[in-house]
Structure 1
Amino acid sequence: MKRSKTGFEFKILTTIVFTLVSFAVIAQETEPKAGASAQELADKLANPVASLISVPLQNNLSYGIGPFNGSKYTINIQPIIPFKLTENLNLITRYIVPVVDQRDITGENTHEFGLSDATITAFFAPKTKGLILGIGPAFLVPTATDKLLGTEKFGIGPSVLVMHQGKGLSIGFIANQIWSVAGDENRADVNQFYTQIFLSHSYKSGASLGINAEITQNWEAKTTLISLNPSIGAVTKLGNQVVQFAISPLIPITGPSQIKPDWGLRVTLGFVFPGS
């Protein structure tokens, strides 16, 4: 049974409205901090719980997926918005809204396009230097506009960040575990763990080199997907707008044949709004 266009358009409209509201908040409440060096911004961008508003657009291309040699393009719209709770405590909210275009994934000569499920994470992060900690809830929101692009489940679970940061060097990991708690009873339950282990080094110019490993463990399906991703990036300006560029090959290490790609590429363009 096909979904109605009304439902599709409503989800698209909801996402657009949410994004525009976020940009409105950014524009009205935040001004770039004068005097921040390119390296300082690069270090802040390497810290997932920095008090820094940014809107990365993460483009992911994967090829050679599954028995039909499928391809998948995903653009993750990822606003990161901090809130000051006290002098010593911030709430860092991270949103991931994926838009997916995939071919020959669900079958030969198939094509799906639309929103996938959104992930929202909120980290309570004490203001510290050196060892940095963050902890809070993660939510899976069933925003997919095609049942083949989402779980049709609402999920929740814990998220955590542990990292050490000095000038020019960042190392740590971010992780979450999500269980489904509501949704379509005919769809498989969600029981999934995700972690990213990262290391990056920045330079005075704002350039950076890094590497990360991403691990996704689907406990329900008993599958593990691991990729290793070296990266090169830079912080610069386009006019008065601070931006970050990064490019990274996605090197698959292990995973089930039905979801593991042969290779992939990630290109990120981030709009940065330095806070106070």
Structure 2
Amino acid sequence: MMLLGAAQLSCITAHADDNSELAKKAQNPIAAMYSLPVQYNWDQKIGPSGNGMHSVTNLQPVLPFSLNSDWNLISRTILPVIDQHGLVEGGAADKSGIGDVTQSFFFSPKKPTSNGWIWGAGPALLLPTGSDDVLSAEQWAAGPTAVALKQSNGWTRGMLANHLWGLDSAPADDKEQISQTFLQPFFSYTNSSLTTFGINSESTYNWKSHQWSVPVNLTVTQLLKVGGQPMTVQIGPRYWLESTTDGPEGWGFRAAITLLFPR
């Protein structure tokens, strides 16, 4: 039997600690770590006929910047690539292309509070980058965003929120002026094999139409390394508890890969 020396045991322990810390940071939306999530969402039963389908691939780079010894600035971008079919008869809404970009900035203390809370707040912007008028709100919007979370003993729980107001009182093509609140409560547990079981909702309330969109996502996420590159792989179902008129219904699907670049 081959016995490990103290130096080897120390190296193995340090490696395990590094991986555990990396898995922990992967569950923190404002961790001071470069990352590139690529997230695919598929939904169904959309449109007046209930036969439409809609898929969105979100490219979501996260860029941290150190402002000083006490504060970080975390940039989070969401660039959606949309594919939708069968929403209305005649195929007028059958489109594929780029949607509007959501850009958020979080000013976040480098150290948690005395109670262990991690938080950040700042501005959020909606940029009318849609490649087609069907895929875009065709207006600029802005508002506040904030996130707060706590991590301990493998558990992560928290909430991310924002509110966006349309900056154009008369958007193009008779589009509705944006006034919407986004709420994302999240709760997860990471075990000793660095597998994370999570549940979250990405609820949106439209203050103009007074309607909720409430999908609930159940996910399993695994931290691994491929060719030395750390990443997480995620998969899971989603279910729409509430939806807007002609919005998605029933079950959907989510899969994601996130490349991690620890500093």
Note the aligned Cα RMSD (angstroms).
Answer: 1.6
> Could you tell me which amino acid in structure 2 is paired with residue 175 of structure 1?
A
Partner residue of 2:164? 178
Q: How many residues align?
A: 242
Cα offset for 1:229? Answer: 1.2
The alpha carbon displacement at 1:73 in A equals: 1.1
1:94 paired to 2:76: yes
Match of 1:52 in 2: 33
Does residue 122 of the first structure (1) align with residue 93 of the second (2)? no
Matches within 5 A, 1:6-85: 35=15, 37-68=18-49, 69-85=51-67
Contact 1:123 1:137 in 2 (8 A): yes
Asked if 1:244 corresponds to 2:232, the answer is yes
Aligned partner of 1:131 in structure 2 is 117
User: Mind listing any 5+ residue stretches in structure 2 that lack a counterpart?
Assistant: 1-13
Shift of 1:249: 0.7
Note the C-alpha offset of 1:163: 1.1
* Partner SS state of residue 158, structure 2: strand
Contact 1:142–1:154 (Cα < 8 Å) also in 2: yes
CA distance in structure 1 between the partners assigned to 2:200 and 2:238 by the alignment: 10
In structure 1, what is the Cα distance between the partners aligned to 2:18 and 2:188?
17
Q: Give deviations 1:225-269, integer Å, cap 9, x for gaps.
A: 111111101010110211110112111101234013322100001
C-alpha distance in 2 between matches for 1:107 and 1:138: 35
The separation in 1 between residues aligned to 2:236 and 2:230, in whole angstroms, is: 20
Letter in 1 for 2:25: K
Report the Cα distance in structure 1 between the residues aligned to 2:180 and 2:88, rounded to whole angstroms.
21
Secondary structure of 1:86 counterpart: coil
User: So what's the TM-score if we normalise by structure 2?
Assistant: 0.88
Code of the aligned partner of 2:74: I
Match for residue 194 of structure 1?
182
Q: SS in structure 2 opposite 1:253?
A: strand
TM-score by length of 1: 0.84
Closer, same or farther in 2 for the Cα pair 1:181/1:201, shift >3 Å? same
Amino acid at match of 2:217: N
Aligned equivalents of 1:220, 1:106: Cα separation in 2: 23
Distance 1:49 1:251 in 2: 26
Q: In 2 relative to 1, CA 112–220 (structure 1 residues): closer, same or farther, beyond 3 Å?
A: same
Displacement of 1:61 in angstroms is 0.7
Which residue, 251, 258, 263 being the options, matches 1:270? 258
Confirm or deny: 8 A CA contact 2:48 2:88 kept in the other structure. Answer: no
After superposing the two structures, state which structure 1 stretch, 150-159 or 176-185, moved more: 176-185
Structure 2 CA distance, aligned partners of 1:92 and 1:167?
A: 25
What's the CA shift for 1:188? Answer: 1.6
State whether structure 2 residue 259 is matched by structure 1 residue 259: no
Choose between structure 1 and 2 for higher RCO, CA contacts under 8 A separated by at least 6 residues: 1
Larger radius of gyration: 2
Residues 273, 108 of structure 1: alpha-carbon distance in 2 compared, 3 angstrom cutoff:
same
- State the AA in 1 paired with 2:247: I
Instruction: Give the match for residue 10 of structure 2.
Output: none
* SS of match in other structure, 2:111: coil
How far is 1:92 from its partner?
0.4
For residue 38 of structure 1, give the secondary structure of its aligned residue in structure 2: helix
In structure 2, what residue type is equivalent to 1:125? S
For 1:214-233, list aligned pairs within 5 A.
214-233=202-221
Q: Which amino acid aligns with 1:155?
A: A
